[in-house]
Amino acid sequence: MNNFRSFIAYTLPEEIIELCAKIQSQFPKNKDTFKLVKPSNMHLTILFLGNKTMEELSSIRDAFSGIGSKVKDINLTTFGISTFGKPPSVVYLEIIDKENKGKLLAEEICRRLKATPDKPWAAHITLARIRSYNKKFNVSHLKNIKFKPIVFSPTSVTIFTSKLTPKGPNYTVFHKC
């Protein structure tokens, strides 16, 4: 029986993907330091599901009834650049969920699936992974990249499967609502 590495995410409008690509263009061009996320792979993760069979993914899909109509009510705002980890391992675009509607829908999805996330939902879009941290290379200057904040709504809630390859992950849409 095949297992599929999978996750649930909010998909992004083209305007936000373009902003992320513009921000990435200001990163140092050092491929040994950064692994940029391909624009086609950008999303807001709701829940990492782990390895699931096709039958399990179908059951998860069936639990999504009515979820898609709630996405249009979510207003998120791009905010700034930050990092996760000590030393930093991820560079991301901070997202503000002022009304908590993104978080509340993420929590509803987890309740429907009887899933407990390993950490609280934190709205962000991963821009790059830091391959090798060097104390001489300071990532704090990335936090100074300026851009005009954009208010947006996710385009959908999507179940993705992910295949890891030496060139990076390949995501496939299993179900979009």
Distance CA 31, CA 26 (A): 13
Distance CA 170, CA 151 (A): 28
**45, pLDDT greater than 90:** yes
Q: 56-67, pLDDT tens digit by residue?
A: 999 999 988 888
β-pair type (34-36, 151-152): unpaired
Task: Count the neighbouring beta carbons within 10 Å of the beta carbon of residue 46.
Answer: 26
Dihedral angle over CA of 65, 68, 70, 72, nearest 10: -170
Split at pLDDT 50, 70, 90, the class of 135 is low
Spell out the domain ranges in the chain. Answer: 3-176
Superfamily of domain 3-176: Cyclic phosphodiesterase (3.90.1140.10)
SS3 8: strand
Distance CA 17, CA 11 (A): 10
Distance CA 176, CA 123 (A): 19
Query: pTM, whole model, 2 decimals?
Result: 0.91
